[in-house]
Amino acid sequence: DAKTTQPPSMDCAEGRAANLPCNHSTISGNEYVYWYRQIHSQGPQYIIHGLKNNETNEMASLIITEDRKSSTLILPHATLRDTAVYYCIVDNNAGNMLTFGGGTRLMVKP
């Protein structure tokens, strides 16, 4: 079973920040928080991951709470091409398969 909980859907206005929450209250100390997204009819695409500290790359920012029980993926300026299903996954980096939950379907609107 997936170890994360995400809202099933969210809307965001184009150009605004999209903040996608994820709960992972049972996360273990050696597990990372990963975010992937899946655009319609494509394979998932890696976005970002983190352990404890907040992370930022060219795609997004990841904010992890101090207790690590939740996190937020931030797309600073959402575009129409960011419309996708976003998956939050916890993983221990042991090279095993990823377990996907339901994800959040983000709709970016003009």
For another protein, the closer of residues 13 and 57 by Cβ is 57
Query: Closest distance between another protein and the C-beta of residue 20, in Å?
Result: 16
Phi, psi of 56 (to 5 degrees): -140, 135
Q: Which residues bind to another protein, rule: CB under 8 A?
A: 2, 32, 34, 36, 38, 41-46, 49, 87, 93, 95, 97-103
- Tell the smallest beta-carbon distance from residue 35 to another protein (Å): 10
Toward another protein, which CB reaches closer, 41 or 110?
A: 41
CB 68, min distance to another protein, A: 17
Per-residue burial over 71-100, b if 16 or more Cβ lie within 10 Å, else e, is bbbbbeebeeebbbbbbbbbbeeeeeeeee
